[in-house]
Chains A and B, each alone.
Chain A
């Protein structure tokens, strides 16, 4: 097994994709977004509740690969308590951390950043992040 494969499929990603916290439907959510990748069929519903302009609750449900699940799980964990502006900052910071190995970043993001080394997998780790980003940008516009 190659070193890059080991780094990508490290236990943090594999544990994270099996971690079911925040993996739940919330039909009553104020906002339901769909993160969909037509290439692979990955499809998540992202459920967001707001209190004033701050996200009070976030969860997700759906189908995806280990990378899209782990990255979505991380996203919904980070969202509560953030305003629209803070959400965008958080997403931009995540993108920087994926690209730049000089960034101070968690072991999980280090593993997710390996996706770019593999053909066709870069999209998996930004799918849900892009969806939330577009929603917040449109909301603010």
Chain B
């Protein structure tokens, strides 16, 4: 059994003395940071700070070593073949833009790109944009009323051999877990480049990119107890090599003359400018934090809290849960009678309960489900049953206020 109280104590934000203690149920937006991660950031900036890949002195050499060690740590965490298959970037959004724009030169009106109506805007808009730029067609796979993908439609689209399939592993809005292994396998059979948005899965389940066999995978550090501003694009060595660098400038070059420039090979050729070094190093620490507890144990805990929350929510009259009944991660989306999600969230916020309300950066999904928004509670390792009880109590207040 995990000692949740002990884990919770490692997060300074829960020890702050505000008028109401924080019940933080917005982990799908960003997780809180454990002390080890905060201390690692501070240690870097206090004692280890230098720019990387250029200084001919010990401090710079050490900073480079820490940065590259973090790359290896990420590679190990997702079981990449080589550390150089890990490109550091600012987050999932940048990672996907890097792929979409990196593939741009290969795309034309002869091509089709496939995404789903379940995607976060980060895995939707970059593809829509590159289609507009190149004349390629964007095919959007439907989501069924139960919040799962229309597999028949998806499989048929894959058999038409589109250039790219960009798919989320877990829906940030509904928690739907897509069978990415099956889908990627089918896509590989048809020679489709596969891009997996793992923003919601990196701290939820074991990711093994060798086993998954996707071409690209993207995630953000801040949803995995790491700092904001650091994220990862994983790409198979040969796939990264095909990407045109979407940003050019410092540190990504081998040789520059007035006439032309030679770029470094990946990953460094895709990391223009000074990267967030401390953040990358602290991301390594965050992954150590996760491994220290154990992802399997985290998953069991998160699932038990989710089931408890779903059960409690079902007992409240007028609460309608949106999304699949099973096969969901630690996210529950719901509506409360005809009360607007922002009214619910404001009243919950007054009780110290932080949830997300609105369209969750997934407007195509809202359109597919014919709703305007939801209230979303998302759980992680420091949440306990008392957090859920407080959510339920606060929801009873919502009813009192609004009806």
Contact = CB atoms under 8 A, between A and B. Distances in A.
A and B: partners? Answer: yes
Interface string A1-33: 110110011000010000000000000000000
Interface string B339-359: 111110011011000000111
Contact of B401 (A9, A64, A118): A9
A43 B358 CA distance: 12
B366 interface: yes
Main secondary structure of the interface of A (DSSP, over half): loop
Interface in B381-400: 397, 400
Interface string A74-108: 00000000000000000000000000000000000
Interface string B61-100: 0000000000000000000000000000000000000000
Interface string B362-391: 010010000011000000000000000000
A2 B366 contact: no
Q: B interface, how many residues as a size bin?
A: 20 to 34
Contacts of B358: 39-41
A101 B302 CA distance: 46
A132 B347 CA distance: 29
Q: A interface, how many residues as a size bin?
A: 20 to 34
Contacts of A5: 346-347, 350, 401
B254 interface: no
A86 B9 CA distance: 59
A124 B349 contact: no
Nearest to A10: B401
A63 B366 CA distance: 13
A66 interface: yes
Given A39-B358, A40-B373, A121-B346, A9 B402 contact: yes
Nearest to B403: A14
A11 to B, nearest CB: 11
Given A40-B373, A41-B373, A66-B402, A9 B347 contact: yes
Interface string B149-175: 000000000000000000000000000
A40 B357 contact: yes
Contacts of B366: 41
B347 to A, nearest CB: 7
Interface in A42-71: 42-43, 63-67
A-B pairs with lowest CB-CB distance, top 10: A65-B340, A41-B372, A65-B342, A9-B401, A41-B373, A40-B358, A5-B350, A41-B359, A40-B342, A65-B343
Interface of A: 1-2, 4-5, 8-9, 14, 39-43, 63-67, 118-121, 124
18 contacts: A1-B350, A1-B397, A1-B401, A9-B343, A9-B402, A39-B358, A40-B341, A40-B358, A40-B373, A41-B359, A43-B372, A65-B343, A66-B343, A66-B402, A118-B346, A119-B346, A120-B342, A121-B346
